[in-house]
């Protein structure tokens, strides 16, 4: 899998996790609000609307728990982005070699410039830190 595919899979995976977490948080807070409101109304006025509000709050909390269980199951079943960075680096290196070969075939004089740049880059990367 190439790098853009990995990034896309990563964003899909964690985007779904974040959106499900936000949904569970919103539903849970709404349920908690209904439970608090229902308890308050039940304590202060003893009408029929209070138990209904408490039941609504409990239902929303059960819905939040159900959403959390289903969401965690979905996230666990999703294929996580795998592979190695070595494969991506080899792919990019191969692309660079093909590009360099194409440039050299068109104009062989560029091989000398390419060799000089490659040598300077290798010398700079492999040099001792004291000489830098």
Q: Tell me, yes or no, whether 121 lies in a domain.
A: yes
* Same domain for 68 and 30: yes
Asked if residue 130 has pLDDT above 70, the reply is no
- Residue 108 covered by a domain: yes
Residue where the block lists tokens 């040099």? 127
The whole-angstrom separation of Cα 132 and Cα 124 is 8
Same domain, 46 and 103: no
- pLDDT digit string, tens, across residues 20-63: 889 999 998 998 888 778 777 766 667 677 777 777 777 778 88
- Count of alpha carbons within 13 Å of 74, Cβ hemisphere only? 16
59 and 7 within one domain: yes
Residue 71 and residue 89 in one domain: no
The answer to whether residue 93 is domain-embedded is yes
In this structure, the answer to whether residues 72 and 25 fall within a common structural domain is yes
Mark whether 44 and 91 lie in a shared domain: no
Query: Which pLDDT score is estimated for 27?
Result: 92
pLDDT at 101 over 70: yes
131 domain residue, yes or no: no
Q: Which domain holds residue 60?
A: 3-77
73 lies in the same domain as 15: yes
Does residue 35 share a domain with residue 73? yes
Quote the CA–CA distance of 11 and 33 in Å, as a whole number.
32
User: Which has more confidence, 77 or 1?
Assistant: 77
* Tally of structural domains, the chain: 2
Residue 108 has what pLDDT?
74
Contact 60, 27 (CB under 8 A): yes
Do you know the residue count of the chain? 132
| pTM of structure | 0.39
d(CA 53, CA 90): 61
Among 28, 13, 124, smallest CA distance to 5 is for: 13
In a domain, 54, yes or no: yes
């Amino acid at each position: 899998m190439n790098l853009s595919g990995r990034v896309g899979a990563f964003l899909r995976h964690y985007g779904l996790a974040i959106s499900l977490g936000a949904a569970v948080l919103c539903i849970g807070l709404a349920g908690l609000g209904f439970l608090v409101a229902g308890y308050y109304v039940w304590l202060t006025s003893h009408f029929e609307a209070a138990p209904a509000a408490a039941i609504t709050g409990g239902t929303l909390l059960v819905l939040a728990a159900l959403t959390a269980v289903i969401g965690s199951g979905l996230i666990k079943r999703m294929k996580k982005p795998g592979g190695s960075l070595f494969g991506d680096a080899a792919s990019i290196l191969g692309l660079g070699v093909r590009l360099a070969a194409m440039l050299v075939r068109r104009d062989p004089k560029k091989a000398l410039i390419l060799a000089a740049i490659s040598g300077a880059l290798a010398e700079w990367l492999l040099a001792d830190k004291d000489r830098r």
